[in-house]
Amino acid sequence: MNYGIIDAIALFSRLRGDIGKQPTRKDWNNCKYTPSDMFIRSRYGSWGEFLKTMGVKPFKYCPSKNGQSRKGIRNKSRSLVSNGHGYIQVFEPGHPVANKAGYCLEHRMIAWDEGKLKDKKKVVHHLDENKINNGINNLEVLNIGVHTSIHSKGVRKILKNGKECTYPNCKEITASKYGLCRKHYKIQWQRVRDGLIENLTIIGTIHDQEPNE
């Protein structure tokens, strides 16, 4: 069946009345009495152009209060919301530290407004490690490397097939075939070179005192 613009308007109006809202492309495709959207793409080019022909405005995906995409009006209330990592963010489009969706991480926005953060590539660190305590005295601007080292202290790296170093009193995790961490591999190699031991795997009383590095 060939559908003209009058037929399309009639079907669109009927569907809108049946579902009680502006139809989406999914609503159109799921409806039993409407043609597939192939007709729309071939006749109008896209669903958006079809809606304009119907005299309505296409919906656009905008950020919502829970950080997910939704259809409708932007979050103009500037209400604080939490992102997936536990940080507070606020909708402030146009701010220098805002993302493409218009949201700013509150701690970065505060640090920028107070003049602490001047380089967007740097990280704003919470001194007490409380992600929602965004008082200016609790914020410190750091390089990425320094910030990473702070949060990695005391964290033991998990290695595939990793096990504890065989050197006495060493708890480092290593995947070395010699069973030695980097530090004690170096120490053992020095001893092999100096003729104190025959191979790296010999662990004895000689290790009670480590050589000067």
The tens digit of pLDDT for each residue in 162-211 reads 788 888 888 888 888 888 888 888 888 888 888 888 888 887 644 444 55
What pLDDT is recorded for position 107? Answer: 92
Q: Assign 58 to helix, strand or coil.
A: coil
Q: DSSP states of the chain as a string? A: ----HHHHHHHHHHHHHHHTSPPPHHHHHH-SSSPPHHHHHHHHSSHHHHHHHTT-PPP-EEE-TTSSEEESS--TT--EEE-TTS-EEEE-TT-TT--TTSEEEHHHHHHHHTTS---TTSEEEETT--TT---GGGEEEE-HHHHHHHHHTTPPPP-TT-EE-SSTT---EE--TTS--HHHHHHHHHHHHTTS-SSTT---GGGGSPPP-
Residue 16 has φ and ψ, to the nearest 5°, of: -65, -40
Q: Grade residue 123 by pLDDT with cuts at 50, 70 and 90.
A: very high
The tens digit of pLDDT for each residue in 79-102 reads 566 677 788 888 888 889 988 888
Contact 152, 172 (CB under 8 A): no
The predicted model gives 41-62 an average pLDDT of 73
What pLDDT is recorded for position 139? Answer: 92
**Does the 69-152 domain belong in CATH 3.90.75.20?**
yes
d(CA 202, CA 191): 10
The tens digit of pLDDT for each residue in 11-51 reads 888 888 888 888 888 888 888 888 877 777 787 788 778 88
Q: Grade residue 62 by pLDDT with cuts at 50, 70 and 90.
A: very low
The reported pTM is 0.41
> Where are the domains positioned within the chain?
5-58, 69-152, 163-208
The tens digit of pLDDT for each residue in 70-79 reads 444 445 454 5
